[in-house]
Amino acid sequence: MTNRSLLRTASFVMLATATFVISATSGARAQRQQGERPPVSWVNSKLPDGPGLTHRVLASQAMGHGVGYVVWTPADYDAGGKTRYPVIYFLHGMGGSEASDSAGFSGLIARGIRKGVVPPVICVFPNGGRSGYREGVEKMIIEELIPLIDKSYPTKAEVSSRVVAGFSMGGAGAVRLSLLHPELFCAAGSWGGGMWRDADEILAAAESGADTLRANAYDALLINGAQDRPDAYEPLAQKLDKLKIPHEMVILPDTPHNLGLYYELSGDRMAEFLGKHLNKAADNPK
């Protein structure tokens, strides 16, 4: 059953890119309010400071052009292949790019690894443009990027070792992709996301994929601010309740649509959630 809880205490997370993320999000929102939409830059090689980050470009047939993505590898990363790593895919919000959240989110995961709540893991940050992670971008991630990562890095290429998370458009995209492709992800985490024009598609996917979701021990963490569409996932929560699929809705008091605040108020909670499911795979290797 859904556990709708209020987070009453904040675990402060010092993230080097929090100010950048907040200003970028605010700038993108201001442009949208003024009716301005700058063209999408699909390759953004300049990365914020952060250890373990590498920028790469995927020659995407689905998109018909190159698409940038960032890979983060943990401290003591073993590139030789003796150690196999689970993977977290993190999807940026509207107005972001592959570079936007790479240092902030990987810093959060590095903290979780040091605390022992997240296993050593690879993080991947694809550029989703303004797509909602639908159509060509969805095909690019599912059919091109995930196979490429599993081929190019020493990953545990199995559903129990792959999760997806994101913020805003990316949070919505994480939930959508995980339900439309239940054979690929064992968990999804959303900050400030929701269901909009494709709500019927998502609810139908949960219904049709319920057996696969349950077999893969799927779980979802749906975090929204009290000032950021707190009921955005209510229809999905009701559907997952009916299907007996684990999930949790968390409402953060006095919180607007601001990634920096989501990090500060629930960053540890998200890291622990993702790490819990990836640790299950580590504890029960195939």
Report pLDDT digits (tens) over 232-257.
999 999 999 999 999 999 999 999 99
Q: Are 133 and 91 in contact (CB under 8 A)?
A: yes
SS (H, E, C) the chain: CCCCEECCCCCCCCCCCHHHHHHHHHHHHHHHHCCCCCCCCCCCCCCCCCCCEEEEEEEECCCCEEEEEEEECCCCCCCCCCCCECEEEEECCCCCCCCCCHHHHHHHHHHHHHHCCCCCCEEEEECCCCCCCCHHHHHHHHHHHHHHHHHHCCECCCHHHEEEEEECHHHHHHHHHHHHCCCCCCEEEEECCCCCCCHHHHHHHHHHCHHHHHHCCCEEEEEEECCCCCCCCHHHHHHHHHHCCCCEEEEECCCCCCHHHHHHHHHHHHHHHHHHHHHHHHHCCC
Q: State both tokens at 286.
A: 């195939």
Predicted pLDDT of residue 17: 39
Q: Are 256 and 265 in contact (CB under 8 A)?
A: no
More confident: 47 or 282 = 47
Q: State both tokens at 219.
A: 């779980």
Q: State both tokens at 197.
A: 């024009």
Q: What is the largest CA-CA distance in the chain?
A: 53
More confident: 32 or 171 = 171
Q: Is the pLDDT of residue 195 over 60?
A: yes
Predicted pLDDT of residue 7: 38
Distance CA 139, CA 160 (A): 21
Predicted pLDDT of residue 5: 40
Predicted pLDDT of residue 32: 45
Average pLDDT over residues 88-110: 96
Q: Which domains does the chain have, with CATH numbers?
A: 5-9+51-280 (3.40.50.1820)
Q: State both tokens at 17.
A: 């890119």
What mean pLDDT, rounded, does the chain reach?
Answer: 88
Q: b or e along 46-83 (b: 16 or more beta carbons within 10 Å of the residue's beta carbon)?
A: eebebebbebbebebebbeeebbbbbbbbeeeeeeeee
Q: State both tokens at 271.
A: 């890291």
Predicted pLDDT of residue 49: 84
> How sure is the predictor about 38, in pLDDT bands with cuts at 50, 70 and 90?
confident
> How sure is the predictor about 35, in pLDDT bands with cuts at 50, 70 and 90?
low
pTM strictly above 0.95: no
Query: Is the C-alpha dihedral spanning 31, 234, 175, 224 positive or negative?
Result: positive
Q: Is the pLDDT of residue 22 over 60?
A: no
pLDDT tens by residue, 136-182: 999 999 999 999 999 999 999 999 999 999 999 999 999 999 999 99
Predicted pLDDT of residue 281: 56
Terminal CA-CA length for the chain: 29
Predicted pLDDT of residue 86: 97
